[in-house]
Amino acid sequence: MAKPMEQITWQELEIGAVVTEVGNARQYETGTWRSERPVVKKEQCIKCGVCWLFCPDACIVRAAEGHFEADLTYCKGCGICVKECPVGCITMVSEEE
Amino acid sequence: MQEIRFHGRGGQGAVTSAELIAIAAINKGKCAQAFPSFGPERRGAPVVAFCRIDDKKINIRAKVYNPDIVIVLDPGLVELLDPSEGMKDGGILITNTQKSPEGMGKMSNPSIRVATVNANKIAMEELGRVIVNTTMIGAFIKATGLITIDDIKEPLLERFGPKLGARNMKALERAYNEVVIKG
Amino acid sequence: MGKERKGVEVSIAIAEAVAQANVDVIAAYPITPQTHIVEHLADIVANGELDAEFVPVDSEHSAMSVCCGSAAVGARTFTSTSSQGLALMSEIFFIAAAMRLPIVMALANRSLSSPLSIWNDHSDVMMVRDAGWIHVFVENGQESYDNMFCAFRMAEDPNVMLPVAVNLDGFILTHMIEPMEYEDDELIKQYLPDFKMKNVLHPDKPVSMGCFGMPEIYTETQMNREVGVRDSYPHILKAWQEWGKLTGRYYKPIETYRADDAECCIVTMGSYGETAMEVVDALREEGEKVGVVKIRLWRPFPFEEFDKAVLGKKTLIVIDRAISFGGPGGPVASELRSALYKKEGAPTIVNYIAGLAGRDVSRKDFRNIIIEGMKKAASGDTDGFTLYALRG
């Protein structure tokens, strides 16, 4: 964001509170919300893309080698990818580790 | 200012009568209002419509309580209500009936003049239906002179189209000629 | 269309004004007593006379939603509703103002249920008092026709960017045939520039509208809105000034009739103002020094103009057309009492609520209200309100 929300004055807002900065949702890094992260065993990954399809936050990305993994900047650790993976190659691992 | 009240039944075109008269008056440079006694109308129910005509701007946004002129489109209505209610002294009551003015009996206010015309018969003969709204306008024109036959032609023909309009004008002109005015 | 005077139903004239204003999108759902407006618009779009999109929506909630979408992409947008329809769309009605979308609405004032009533009063507009729309009240057909153009002009002014409701009394005006002067298309073109909006939804320049707002920012958005509504005031006046220059018919936020030397004024909003003028004329003949103060601009409220019109007078008899249950009286009287609080020369206010759900208020009734009201003021009986012509 150009300015943290807590510092914006009423005069600085666009009328109608329209947000003109394109795609700035990217600046809201939700990765800090999770207490567990998904870890993919890339040798077992069959590259089907089901986890990518089901991720509610669209933060599963395709790695250069072709397998899929979570974008940890945004991943909230919901575990849906683990549930949906047809070969069970994803496990949730505590952030403490 | 002249205030007019129309009594009819839903579907008989009482509101249309009021509208055509108002538009005719407006077209000749006067100010006029036409409006129904608002409600969810249904065919057959007694309805009331109003019209005001004046040379200057009309500033009243309420119903007509003391009409100068009352027009009754349905003969049966005089059994249900007193169409002359609230009429100003010397006003005129114009009604569709087989009876003559004398046959209408005494008015609650003796200063009220009466005009009668058998609009049912005229409408049946000229239009093939007992819809008397335009017919009664003819009687109104003769009885009051507030507008002329020429004045009503344009709005009537615009509303009904050339063919149906011509037949309505014929019925209207017959009523103009056949209405009997007493007083 | 050339300039012409004709007798026509006010609803039809409003529809034809919207057509003359070169509207782009109409999204509306029919409800008594607004039906003739939207039916006529549907007719002229269908027969090719008007080049616009008529979206036949499934409800008023959808109507206002479509209007928001339409205005958000920069289309000149119109809708119309009443009473329960307004209630049904209320969620989006508030949002439209918050999103600063210049939608124009013909609000045919009708009573809110229950009991179910199709007749006129102001309970519907009072329900959305705080929504942030601009509210104009008209008294007759000519004003209804004229103010459709003024509404688009005000709404789309880059210094305003607010939706505008033109309030007209249901049935009393919507279903009235009276003379109106239509202006010609050239004049309208001169008066209404093409609609250009600063931020529009478009893939070339993406923006986000109607976002989520955290507590940390919400208050600031509301101040931004409040200032927006207040700052729109001079531009509203300008829209009316410009119309007056072109047509000779000037509109003002507060209009008065024989009020200058009046000790007692009746205050009205909407078509009642006309009957009030007639009654004031009659009372003046009898030596009563009375006048009419008519509120034409309800929001943003014209505090200064109102003060100018009434400070120094003895009594104001305020006619409300709605009731606020358990509150301090009718909405208009409550606001005027508040506006005059502690002001020097503030008149006493006597509040009558009359004509609820279209109960006719005749010239005799107005006369009674004024005479009775003056007596109440004289005897100090000015608290709360009186429901005029109440049986029981």
B34 interfacial to chain C (CB closer than 8 Å): yes
Banded pLDDT at B45 (limits 50, 70, 90): confident
Q: Would residue C37 count as lying in a domain?
A: yes
Mean pLDDT of A69-77: 96
Last residue of a domain, one of C247, C268, C298: C247
| Chain segment C185-234, per-residue pLDDT in tens | 999 999 999 999 999 999 999 999 999 999 999 999 999 999 999 999 99
In CATH terms, the fold of domain A29-94 is Alpha-Beta Plaits (3.30.70)
**Which chain C residue is nearest to residue A20, measuring alpha carbons?**
C207
User: What is the structure's pLDDT at A2?
Assistant: 65
pLDDT band, very low/low/confident/very high, at A5 (cuts 50, 70, 90) = confident
CB contact under 8 A, B35 and C176: yes
C186 occurs within a structural domain: yes
What is residue C95's predicted lDDT score, i.e. its pLDDT?
98
- C226 and C366 co-located in one domain: no
A26 contacts chain C (CB < 8 A): no
The pair of structure tokens assigned to C85 is 């329809």
Residue A1 has pLDDT above 70, yes or no: no
> In this complex, how many residue pairs, one in chain B and one in chain C, have their CB atoms less than 8 Å apart?
74
Mean pLDDT score of chain C, rounded to an integer?
97
> Domain for residue C335, yes or no?
yes
CA atoms within 13 A on the CB side of C321: 30
How many CB atoms neighbour CB B176 within 10 A? 20
Using the predicted structure, report yes or no on whether residue C88 has a pLDDT greater than 80: yes
Token output for A52: 């990518």
Chain A contacts of C211, Cβ < 8 Å?
Answer: 17, 19
C166 found inside a domain? yes
Residue C325, domain member (yes or no): yes
Count of structural domains, chain B: 1
CATH number reported for the structural domain that contains residue B30 in this entry: 3.40.920.10
In a domain, C113, yes or no: yes
Residue-number span of the structural domain to which B114 is assigned: 2-182
Residue B126 has pLDDT above 70, yes or no: yes
pLDDT digits (tens, 9 = 90+) for C229-286: 999 999 999 999 999 999 999 999 999 999 999 999 999 999 999 999 999 999 999 9
Asked if A22's CB is within 8 angstroms of C207's CB, the reply is: yes
Q: Which of B15, B26, B38, B41 to mutate to test the interface with C (most CBs of C within 10 A)?
A: B38
CB atoms B26 and C271 under 8 Å: no
CB contact under 8 A, A19 and C211: yes
Report how far apart, in Å, the C-alpha atoms of C246 and of each of B161, C14, C166, C186, C252 are.
Answer: 36, 19, 20, 11, 15
Chain B, 84 to 143: residues with Cβ < 8 Å from chain C are none
For B128-140, the pLDDT digits (tens) are 999 999 999 999 9
Distance CA C107, CA C85 (A): 10
**In CATH, what number is assigned to the domain containing residue C161?**
3.40.50.970
In a mutagenesis test of the B interface, which of C178, C181, C278 is the best target, namely the one with the most B β-carbons within 10 Å?
Answer: C178
Based on the structure, what is the number of domains in chain C?
2
| Tens digit of each residue's pLDDT (9 = 90 or more) over C46-69 | 999 999 999 999 999 999 999 999
Give yes or no: residues C193 and C151 share one domain: yes
- Is C237 a member of any domain? yes
Same domain for C111 and C213?
yes
Judged against a pLDDT cut of 90, whether residue A90 lies above it is answered with yes
Q: How confident is the model at residue A3 (pLDDT cuts 50, 70, 90)?
A: confident
| Chain C residues 157-176 within an 8 A CB cutoff of chain A | 161
Q: What is the pTM of this model?
A: 0.94
Distance from CA of C213 to the nearest CA of B (A): 45
Does residue A1 belong to the interface with chain C, where contact is any CB pair within 8 Å?
Answer: no
In a domain, C392, yes or no: no
User: What's the CATH code of the domain at C345?
Assistant: 3.40.50.920
Domain ranges of chain A: 29-94
Domain that holds residue C265: 254-387
Confidence of residue C392 (pLDDT cuts 50, 70, 90): very high
Q: What is the pLDDT of residues C17-56, one digit of tens each?
A: 999 999 999 999 999 999 999 999 999 999 999 999 999 9
B35 touches chain C (CB under 8 A): yes
Q: What is the pLDDT of residues C127-153, one digit of tens each?
A: 999 999 999 999 999 999 999 999 999
Residue among B19, B36, B62 whose CB faces C363 most closely? B62
ipTM reported for the complex surpasses 0.95: no
C111 and C194 together in one domain: yes
